[in-house]
Amino acid sequence: GEDVEQSLFLSVREGDSSVINCTYTDSSSTYLYWYKQEPGAGLQLLTYIFSNMDMKQDQRLTVLLNKKDKHLSLRIADTQTGDSAIYFCAESMGAGSYQLTFGKGTKLSVIP
């Protein structure tokens, strides 16, 4: 079955890099996503990666995918206080399956 796991909390100092990890179980996942949720708000898509890619970089964000180990990570360089939020990893099967399976989210706290 589908299952997405994340650690629940991460605390970093402002200016340091943050690395949020995610593991998934379904090897047929086609797309993997990272969403950001600020308090009381909906989800904002940060980035996504196709399953045949190993890495994707977008400004301060770097996504690494290890398909063999079913491990996904999100690195935020030069973490700022505005990055404090809950980060959700999600997977979809693609090919017309629009459903997303989310992890429980990692709460990132940035210490000034």
Question: Which positions touch another protein (CB under 8 A)?
Answer: 4, 8, 30-31, 35, 40-45, 48, 50, 88, 92, 94, 98-100, 102-105
DSSP string, 82-102: GG-EEEEEEEEEETTEEEEEE
In the complex, the smallest distance separating the C-beta of residue 58 from another protein, rounded to whole angstroms, is 13
- Nearest to another protein of 14, 47 (CB atom): 47
Helix (H, G, I), strand (E, B) or coil at 75: strand
111: left (phi over 0), alpha (psi -120 to 50) or beta: beta
In the complex, the smallest distance separating the C-beta of residue 31 from another protein, rounded to whole angstroms, is 5
